[in-house]
A and B are shown apart, each in its own frame.
Chain A
Amino acid sequence: DSGVTQTPKHLITATGQRVTLRCSPRSGDLSVYWYQQSLDQGLQFLIQYYNGEERAKGNILERFSAQQFPDLHSELNLSSLELGDSALYFCASSVRGGGTEAFFGQGTRLTVV
């Protein structure tokens, strides 16, 4: 158990809908990262928050947004969903913003039908 909690574990939704994925980082970790893993793809960095502020952005679609709350949990919002958004979404956390390992949650498997 990495200490990073993601909910829900599975999500099935229709095209055009909006979903919210939730992540609780390890106790004491200030940095939260979101990654997407599509079929046969590696882990693609989406976005990072550090202590409530956006720190880095990857190839995140405009339809996607995220935030980190004062209690340090984070949410990833995916809207106007398309079939191609079906993927595993991972959250990771680390104690600081760089130069250290990140610990991953179990992931949320999103299926868009």
Chain B
Amino acid sequence: DQQVKQNSPSLSVQEGRISILNCDYTNSMFDYFLWYKKYPAEGPTFLISISSIKDKNEDGRFTVFLNKSAKHLSLHIVPSQPGDSAVYFCAASWGNQGGKLIFGQGTELSVKP
């Protein structure tokens, strides 16, 4: 039962343009959502998060949007840079489950110069 889904395994974007990574979830109990970035042979690095009481959170070039009615969140990276090339995971958790994160399968972003 895949509760968090990233349907695009890969995404290629030109440097300077916007990257949009998408994530869908099925469990309406999720109340906290996160995006992580992962390079090969390294652990995931936290990027940005959003609580279910908000619909947008911004941090520099990264913005996360949450659409609760559609059970959808997205990560926007503007402008995209070659160093952003990595695998991006979305994750979700809910309060009474102690904070364990349920991850999507990841989307590999390639930003071309």
Contact = CB atoms under 8 A, between A and B. Distances in A.
A43 B44 contact: yes
A4 B43 CA distance: 10
Interface residues of B, number: 28
A41 B32 CA distance: 22
Contact of A42 (B46, B96, B106): B106
Chain A interface category by residue count: 20 to 34
A48 B100 CA distance: 7
Interface in B18-64: 31-32, 34, 36, 41-46, 49, 51
B71 to A, nearest CB: 18
B97 A101 contact: no
A42 B42 contact: no
Interface string B76-104: 00000000000001010111111111111
7 contacts: A2-B45, A44-B103, A45-B103, A92-B101, A98-B93, A99-B31, A101-B46
The 10 closest A-B pairs by CB, nearest first: A98-B99, A104-B43, A55-B98, A56-B98, A43-B103, A42-B105, A101-B46, A97-B99, A56-B100, A97-B98
